A and B are shown apart, each in its own frame.
Chain A
Amino acid sequence: MHVTFSEDELAFREEVRAFFRDQMPAGLMEKQAENIPLDRDDHVQFQKALFRKGWAAVNWPVEYGGTGWNIVQKHIFDVEMANADVPNIIPFGLGMVGPVIYTFGSEAQKKRFLPDILESNVWWCQGYSEPGAGSDLAALKARAERQGDHYIVNGTKTWTTLGQYADWIFCLVRTNSDVARRQEGISFLLVDMQSPGITVTPIITIEGDHEINEIHFENVAVPAENLIGEEGKGWTYGKVLLQHERTGNAGVARTNYRLTRLRAQAAKSIRGSAPLLGDHNFMRKLAAIEVELKALEFTELRTLAAVASGKAPGPESSILKLKGTELQQATDALYVEAAAYYSLPYVPDQYVAGFPDQDRIGEGGETLTSLRYFNFRKASIYAGSNEIQKNIIAKHVLGL
C-alpha cells in the first residue's frame, strides 16, 4: 500500500499538464480566466481537442475508443484537469449514454452512436425527471407506445441540463403500465431532438441563467431500432448510468482547486483591504473543508480501486455524491463570505470579452460568488437528491 507516484506516473502527469497548457482551443483559457460564460462551441471544441489526443473517453474500454487508463492515471487526469481550470467534460454523451450504449446496446447502435459521442459531433441530453417524478423516478409517466416499427412518445421531461444545445436525448419512458413493480415496464429510448412533436421550453434558474429546460413530447415517432436493450429493462440500464453519474459528481479535484485558489486569494489584499489570512475564523473554516475534502479524496480513490478490480460502482457512490456536493456548497459559501459586500452586485453582463477592467465591479469573479452559491444549491438536489442518497445507503449498505 502506497500513495506516491512512480516515475511513469510522474511522466504521465507531465504529459497531461503539457496538453492542457499547450493544446487548448484558441480563446478558451482567456474566457475561463475572465469568467466569461462558455457557449456550445467552446465546449465542443474543448472536447474535440481531447478527442484528437485520444483522451475524450477517460472511462471507456479501449475497444470503443477509451483511454484504458488505470485508476492512478484517471486520478492524475482529473486533478490536472481541475488545476488547469479547463471546462468539465459535458457528461451526457461521454459519461452517461456512451457507457449505456456500449454495455447494453446492439452492435448497430454502437456503430451508429459511439463515434459521434467520442468525437463530440453530437450533443446529448438526459430525459429522466418529470414534473411528477423527481426523487421518485419510477413514477415517470412519459409513455412510448409501439406502433409498427416506431414508438410514439408522449409526455414531459424536465430539469434537462443544456437541452437547448442537444441533438439527441436519452429517455426513460414507460412502455408498459400493466406491471407488478413500477420499475418494470420502463424502457431506455434514444430520441432525435429534431423529431417533429418535440418542444424545448427554457427554465430560468435561481441566479438568472438559462441552463435547464422542460422538454415536451407530443406524438413523437421514434424508430424502434432506437430502443436500448430489451423493452421494459430500462430501469436497470438507467440505474447503472446513475451510479456512474454519482461517482462523477463528487467533484473532489475541482473543489480542491477552488480551495487552493481561495487560499491564494486570502493571502492577497483585495481593493486595499486587510488579507483574509489574518481572519482566524475564515481560515479555520477553510481548513475544516480541506480536511473533509482530503478524506473524500481517499474515499474516492478507494472506490475507484474497487471498480478497477472489476466491481461496478455500487451504493458507495452515494457517499461520494453526498459528501462531494456538501463540500462544493460549503466552498461556494466561503467564497461568498470572502467577497462580503461584493457578493451583492448582480452584474453578469460585465463578464464578456473586452469588458474594460476599470469598469468592472468587484475584483476578478467576486460578483459571481453568490450566483454560483445560489446555482449550486442544485448539487444536493440533482442526480438523486442527497436525501435519496441517504435512503440508498441506509437500504443497500446498512440493510435497514
Chain B
Amino acid sequence: MDFSFNEIQMMLQDSVEKFIANDYDFDTRQQYAASDLGYSAEVWQLFAELGWTAVPFSEGDGGFDGGPVEMMVMMQQFGRGLIVEPYLANIVLAGGVLRRVANERQKTKWLRPLIGGELQSALAFVEPQARYELNNVETTATADGSGWILNGSKGVVLNGGNAGLLIIPARTSGASTDRQGITLFAVGGMANGVTRRPYATVDGHQAAEISLRDVHVDAGAVLGEVDSGLAILEAAIDDAILAVCAEAVGIMQIITDKTVEYSKNRQQFGVPIGSFQALQHRMVDMLTACEQSYSLLLWASLAAADNSDESSKAVSSLKYQIGTAGQKVGQEAVQIHGAMGVTWDLDIAHYFKRLTTIAHMFGSADWHLDRLARL
C-alpha cells in the first residue's frame, strides 16, 4: 500500500500548479470566462503543447498513457485554479468515447486533432426530458442507404457551441429508455440540419442547446457498434464523474484554506473571527469534509485504475459525497466570508458556483445514493 505520487504524477502536479501560479490568477480567469469564446484559445494551445490534452490517451494514439490517478492529479489542480478551458468536454467526455471506440480512420480524423488542440468537441449526453438517465434517448437515427438521418434535441451540451465535433447518442432501435439500441454518432458541428444555441453557464463555462433536423451522416460516423453505445457512454460519464469530483476536491481544499486564512485576518469585536469557537468548529467540519472527500476520490480513482469490480460503487459513493459535502463546504466558505462571500469580485463566490454545478451534473447526490442502495 502506497498513497504517494510517482515521479510522473508529481511532475504533472507541479507543472499545472506552476502554470496557475504564474499565468492563471483569478482576474485572468474572469477575463477568459467573460470573453466571446468563454475561454482562452492561447491557453488551450498551451495545454496541448504541454501534453496535458494527451494525458488519458494511449501512446499508440499519440497520448501520454495516463490513467485515473494522473487525471485526478490534474483535475484537482484545475479545480484550485478554477480553470474554464473545456478540458472536461474535450478530453474527458468526447475523448473518453473516442479513445474507447474510434477506428483508425476516426482517430485520424477526430482524436489526433483533439489531442493536438486543433479540434473542439462535445459529447451531447443530456436530453431535455432525460434528467440524469443516460439511457433516456429520444433522438433518433434512421438508416438511409448506407448512412443515417438524425433527428432530435440535446440539452446543456458542454462546449457544444464551440465544438467542431459533436458526439450524438441516438436511438437506432428500441423504446426511449431501453438500454439497447443507442448508437453514438460523430457529427460535424456545422453539419446541415444542426442548430446550436450557445450560452454561458452559471459557473463561467460554456454550453449549448442543440437541435438536429434531418442531419445526414455516412456510415463512417458511427462510433463503435450500432445499438451498443450506452456502455461506452456510461464509461465516459464515469470518467467525467471522477474528473469533476477531483476538481471539486481541489476547490474544497482551496476554499477551506482561504476561509481559515480569512478568519485569521478579519477582525470583528476587536479579535479575529477565527478566534470564535463556533466558527472554529465549523472550519474543522470543512476540513473533515475535505479529507473524507479526498479519501473517496483516492478509492474511486484507484478502483478505476485497477478496473475493480467495485468501480461503479466507488464512483457513486464519491459523487454522493461531493454532492453533499461539497455543497456544505461551499456554503460555509461563503457564510464565513460574510457579505464578501456573495460578491462577484471575490473568487469564493465562483468556487461555490462551480461546486454547485458539479453537484448537479452526472447525477445528483440523491440519484447516486439511490444507485448505491440498489447495488
Where the two chains meet, the residues of A that have a C-beta atom closer than 8 Å to any C-beta of B are 129, 132, 134-136, 139, 158-159, 203-208, 212, 269-274, 279, 281-282, 333, 336-337, 340-347, 359, 361, 370-371, 373-375, 377-378, 380-382, 385-387, 390
Chain B residues closer than 8 Å to A373, beta-carbon distance: 356
With A205-B342, A346-B201 as contacts: A374 and B131 at CB distance below 8 Å: no
Interface residues of B in 247-272 (CB under 8 A from A): 267-269
Binds A, one of B230-238, B296-304, B344-352: B344-352
Q: Evaluate contact between A134 and B342: CB separation under 8 angstroms.
A: no
Q: Is the Cβ of B131 less than 8 Å from the Cβ of A340?
A: yes
- Interface pairs (11), CB distance under 8 Å: A134-B339, A136-B268, A206-B343, A206-B353, A343-B360, A345-B199, A345-B207, A374-B352, A380-B335, A382-B339, A387-B276
Q: Are B338 and A135 within 8 A (Cβ)?
A: yes
CB distance from B358 to the nearest CB of A (A): 10
Please, which residues of chain B bring their CB within 8 A of the CB of A204? 343-345
Q: Give the Cβ gap from A358 to chain B, nearest Cβ, in Å.
A: 11
Contacts A271-B129, A340-B132, A387-B279; A374 near B357 (Cβ below 8 A): no
The reply on B155 being an interface residue by CB < 8 A is yes
Q: Is B155's CB under 8 angstroms from A342's CB?
A: yes
Residues of A within 8 A of B273 (CB): 135
Query: Which one, A274, A340, A374, contacts B342 given CB within 8 A?
Result: A374
With A134-B268, A337-B360, A341-B156 already in contact, the answer to whether A347 and B131 are too (CB < 8 A) is: no
B97 to chain A: closest CB distance in Å? Answer: 19
The answer on a CB contact under 8 Å between A374 and B202 is: yes
The answer to the question of B174 belonging to the interface, with a C-beta cut-off of 8 Å to chain A, is: no
Binary CB contact string for chain B from 201 to 221 against chain A (1 if under 8 A, 0 otherwise):
111000101000000000000
* Residues of B contacting A374 in the complex (Cβ-Cβ under 8 angstroms): 202, 342, 349, 352-353, 356
How many inter-chain residue pairs (CB < 8 Å) link A and B?
A: 132
Q: Would you call B201 and A378 a contact (CB within 8 A)? A: no
A344-B352 contact given A273-B129, A377-B334, A380-B335, CB 8 Å threshold: no
- Whether A375 contacts B339 in the complex (CB less than 8 A), given A135-B268, A342-B156, A346-B200, comes out as no
Residues in B whose Cβ lies below 8 Å from that of A345: 156, 199-202, 207
Establish whether residues A136 and B269, one from each chain, have CB atoms under 8 Å apart when the complex forms.
Answer: yes
Q: Is B59 an interface residue (CB 8 A)?
A: no
Say yes or no: A370-B130 contact (C-beta < 8 A), given A208-B344, A377-B331. Answer: no
In whole angstroms, what is the CA distance A279 to B150 when docked? 31
A273-B199 Cα distance, complex, nearest whole Å: 23
Given A273-B130, A344-B360, answer yes or no on A203-B343 (Cβ-Cβ < 8 Å): yes
User: Smallest CB-CB separation from A276: which chain B residue?
Assistant: B131
Contact of A337 among B155, B357, B364 (CB under 8 A): B364
A273 to B132 CA separation, bound complex (whole angstroms)? 11
For residue B375, CB closer than 8 A to chain A, the reply is no
Q: Which of A134, A347, A361 contacts B338 (CB 8 A)?
A: A134
Q: List B contacts of A158 (CB < 8 A).
A: 339
* Inter-chain contact B339/A129, CB cutoff 8 Å: yes
A390: which B residues are within 8 A, CB to CB? 278
